[in-house]
């Protein structure tokens, strides 16, 4: 990410564009342009060698007009308050687009989990949870997994919060293991949602699975799950990339074999798989993947990946954003001029928060669903939302990103107007 890039400014620019388009009430616009609450915490822990290291953590709640806030926690060396604020705003729009009774939140700790032991990550998680416990809770703000966090991290968060209040509170986080109140289908929910929307968009734009090629940037939980579901529907996955490199095969990758290889790898990496050409240079692999002559490109890594500098190299007919904020506004304009359809992040990757909502409901009711019911409900929510956005796009004569943002902002604005300002 360039030093001059501000994810928060990008998010505000997108809001401003929508506000102008829908003639949003200036007072509501001003309120939406600010986060409701931003907490910065110090996270001191004792490392394995005995010394104390101090990390910085954040929890930001953008808007709670539609209900308690919801959003993931990421552990990454590049986490900033600016980034977390932007992701919290995007979560507000995502929850509104999909029709969930939530506002947006996000959290993060500046750290490199790849350089930390399991014990250090546990101590980091517990201290961070303790520090943010004043602003989270099943009726206030519900964290979930994000970059470099997982069900185990959520287990530690849930346990720490529960020990703080003196009784078990499974609904304080989502993305937990099923043994302690997690939902069936949660691990693959974001990738499944990406695949569901991608298949619907491909059908709308005349792309048939058996004749369609796909490139996936990012092969973590989201990218790998999307690849699994798309391969199962007959799409040919010709390129994937992770943090260390990329794997390419114009005849199509053997996705089940690749998934098995990644699961057996100590760091879940693509390197060493023999079913394609491996490019070990991450930057070169990423550039090649984004420029592949494919039918569909699915960026499922991190933000700011398709920019003004590389958007002109994209040859895909359709982009489905599995990551949050992977395309900058300048890149959007370039892609639009090239006739490339973009299914935006706040719609395409909403599967995770949707099943998190299901998990939260199950925890509150102590009534758990089987996986078939979860997946059926997820598919229904994703397809309904995709159609809602498509209807707005047709009515407003605009692209899908603007349509999704218009739909979301109008829903949040309506709630803000009904509730008013206290006191």
Phi, psi (degrees; rounded to nearest 5) at 164: -70, -40
Let me know if 106 is a catalytic residue.
yes
Give backbone dihedrals phi and psi of 61, rounded to 5 degrees, phi first: -115, 115
- Rounded Cα–Cα distance for residues 213 and 197 (Å): 16
d(Cα 365, Cα 239) in Å, to the nearest integer? 43
Cis peptide before 423 (omega within 30 of 0): yes
DSSP 71-92: EEEEEETT--HHHHHHHHHHHH
Residue ranges of alpha helices (H) inside 73-210 are 81-98, 118-132, 151-165, 189-204
Distance (Å, whole) CA 190 – CA 196: 10
Please tell me the distance from the alpha carbon of residue 22 to that of residue 227, in angstroms, as a whole number. 37
Could you tell me which residues are beta bridge partners of residue 53?
Answer: 45
Q: Which of 85, 94, 106, 236 is the catalytic position? A: 106
Instruction: Scan for tokens 């004569």, then name that residue.
Output: 397
Phi, psi angles (nearest 5°) of residue 180 = -125, 35
Catalytic amino acids? Answer: 106
């Amino acid at each position: 990410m360039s030093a001059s890039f501000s994810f928060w400014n990008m998010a505000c620019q997108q809001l401003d564009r929508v506000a102008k388009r829908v003639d949003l009430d200036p007072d509501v616009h001003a309120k939406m342009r600010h986060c409701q609450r931003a907490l910065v915490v110090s996270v001191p822990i004792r490392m394995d060698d005995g010394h104390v290291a101090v990390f910085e953590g954040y929890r930001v709640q953008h808007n709670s007009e539609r209900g308690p806030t919801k959003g993931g926690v990421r552990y990454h060396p590049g986490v900033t308050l600016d980034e977390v604020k932007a992701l919290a705003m995007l979560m507000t729009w995502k929850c509104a687009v999909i029709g969930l009774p939530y506002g947006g939140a996000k959290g993060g700790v500046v750290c490199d989990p790849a350089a930390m032991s399991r014990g250090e990550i546990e101590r980091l998680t517990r201290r961070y949870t303790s520090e943010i416990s004043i602003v989270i809770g099943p009726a206030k703000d519900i964290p979930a997994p994000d970059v470099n966090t997982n069900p185990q991290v959520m287990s530690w968060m849930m346990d720490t919060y529960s020990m703080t209040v003196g009784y078990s509170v499974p609904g304080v986080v989502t993305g937990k293991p099923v043994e302690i109140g997690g939902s069936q289908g949660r691990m693959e929910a974001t990738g499944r949602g990406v695949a569901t929307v991608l298949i619907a968009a491909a059908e709308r734009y005349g792309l048939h699975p058996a004749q369609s090629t796909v490139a996936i940037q990012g092969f973590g939980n989201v990218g790998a799950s999307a690849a699994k579901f798309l391969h199962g529907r007959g799409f040919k996955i010709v390129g994937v990339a992770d943090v260390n490199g990329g794997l390419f095969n114009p005849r199509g990758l053997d996705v089940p074999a690749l998934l098995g290889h990644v699961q057996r790898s100590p760091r879940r990496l693509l390197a060493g798989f023999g079913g394609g050409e491996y490019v070990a240079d991450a930057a070169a692999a990423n550039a090649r993947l984004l420029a592949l002559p494919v039918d569909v490109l699915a960026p499922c890594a991190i933000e700011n990946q398709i920019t003004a500098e590389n958007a002109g190299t994209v040859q895909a007919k359709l982009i489905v954003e599995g990551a949050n904020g992977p395309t900058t506004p300048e890149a959007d304009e370039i892609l639009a001029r090239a006739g490339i359809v973009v299914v935006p992040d706040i719609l395409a990757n909403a599967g995770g928060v949707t099943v998190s909502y299901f998990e939260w409901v199950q925890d509150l009711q102590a009534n758990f669903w089987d996986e078939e019911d979860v997946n059926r409900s997820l598919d229904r929510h994703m397809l309904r939302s995709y159609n809602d956005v498509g209807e707005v796009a047709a009515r407003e004569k605009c692209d899908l990103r603007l349509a999704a943002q218009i739909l979301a902002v109008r829903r949040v604005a309506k709630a803000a107007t009904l509730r008013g300002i206290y006191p």
